[in-house]
Structure 1
Amino acid sequence: MAKNKLHEGPGPSQRQLRVGETVRRALSDVLARGDVHDTDLNRMSITVGEVRISPDLKIATAYVLPLGGEGQDEVLKLLARNKSELRRQVAKKLTLKFSPDLRFQLDQTFDRMDDTRRMLNQEVVRRDADAPDDDGADDSADGAPDQ
């Protein structure tokens, strides 16, 4: 049976996590300092929420979001346009043998958190969450009934 390269093992290795965080910090620093020679990119404030590294450490996918969430498509175009210069700038800050190829995607984390928050604030969900257990089991930590 052939292995799927995207889903090998239970998750990223410690090395992938460490390299991903190192790339995230370096990329954030490059973007914050305006080290790229593109005035359109430098005028934007971009958050790099996470960087995921492929198992072979050759591809780094950066999850980005412009401050305030506006201009998302423009940010992706600007980052793609400056990808090679960003890669060179990030490589200067890394101690890796090879610099990973950079890919950019929008960070959807905040949207998912907003959706979850909206769902949890629905009356039906709050009523279900606040309802007492009907199974008769004692859920308290010390075994004593709640008073």
Structure 2
Amino acid sequence: MTIRTERVGNAIRKEVASMLTRGEIKDPRLGGFVNIQEVRVSPDLSYAKVYYTVFGESDQAGVADAWQRASGFLRNVIAKRLKLRHAPELRFELDHVADYSKRIDELLNGLEIPPADDSDETH
């Protein structure tokens, strides 16, 4: 990732997140329980993958549909606010990192590790 793509990705992440918190995206499926984790921009700036998480028992398919429907609006607003001649096409993907880390925690907590036997230690 180049400095420019990283900078554009961070700017897009901040802008989409602030639009969510300010309620500029009118779809109720995106209200309150969605968080923007990361944005990865292609080297030629033609597209950007926006990784998001959904908290609680929200309808993940509905959230994905809401992002798809809002993508054109978001692209237009981002182009204007970030003063980009060509804003990248936005592709939204559910970020599963939180689910993976929760599962790893559950597995680690379920392990039964016997206490260390001090008599076997050699000095």
TM-score (norm 2): 0.80
Q: What's the counterpart of residue 48 of structure 2?
A: 60
Task: Calculate percent identity across the aligned residue pairs.
Answer: 30
Task: Determine the C-alpha separation between the residues in 2 that align with 1:92 and 1:69.
Answer: 34
Kept after mapping to 2: 8 A contact 1:30/1:89: no
List runs of 5+ in structure 1 lacking aligned partners: 1-11, 137-144
Task: Determine the C-alpha separation between the residues in 1 that align with 2:61 and 2:77.
Answer: 23
SS at match of 1:82: helix
SS at match of 1:97: coil
Q: What's the counterpart of residue 15 of structure 2?
A: 26
Q: Which has the higher contact order (CA 8 A, sep 6+)?
A: 2
Q: What's the counterpart of residue 102 of structure 1?
A: 90
Deviation at 1:35, TM superposition (A): 1.6
Alignment equivalent of 2:100, drawn from 112, 133, 139: 112
Q: What's the counterpart of residue 5 of structure 1?
A: none
Kept after mapping to 1: 8 A contact 2:17/2:36: yes
The number of residue pairs the alignment matches comes to 121
Q: What's the counterpart of residue 86 of structure 1?
A: 74
Deviation at 1:44, TM superposition (A): 4.5
- CA RMSD in angstroms comes to 2.7
TM-score (norm 1): 0.68
Deviation at 1:21, TM superposition (A): 1.1
SS at match of 1:121: helix
Amino acid at match of 2:107: M
Q: What's the counterpart of residue 38 of structure 2?
A: 50
SS at match of 1:63: strand
